[in-house]
């Protein structure tokens, strides 16, 4: 088994997507359609602050960052708003 990749970058929350832009141009940017997110949760342990986004299909991605609670709240609000705009 291989270790998960760690990529430095910035998260951007829009009306319909959560975008990730890596700090290094060799890495790929990606975005997640907000209604595809089933759950946003806190999976922090000790000093490592992690936010886990679980998709509708059961896959997940973890983001390491401070201020996990505010990120989760913002994603959940935007996700609920995106569902009502559909």
pLDDT at 82: 84
Query: pLDDT tens across 2-38, in order?
Result: 667 788 899 999 999 999 999 988 889 999 999 999 9
pTM of the model: 0.83
pLDDT confidence tier of residue 85, bands split at 50, 70 and 90: low
Q: Find the DSSP H helices in the chain.
A: 68-85
Banded model confidence at residue 39, pLDDT cuts 50, 70, 90? very high
Any bridge partners for residue 53, and if so which? Answer: 40, 61
């Amino acid at each position: 088994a291989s270790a998960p990749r760690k990529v430095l970058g910035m998260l951007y929350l829009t009306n319909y997507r959560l975008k990730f832009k890596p700090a290094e141009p060799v890495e790929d940017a990606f975005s997640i359609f907000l209604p595809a997110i089933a759950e946003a949760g806190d999976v922090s342990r000790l000093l490592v602050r992690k936010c886990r986004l679980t998709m509708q299909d059961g896959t997940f991605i973890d983001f390491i960052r401070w201020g996990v609670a505010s990120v989760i709240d913002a994603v959940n609000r935007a996700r609920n708003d995106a569902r009502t705009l559909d």
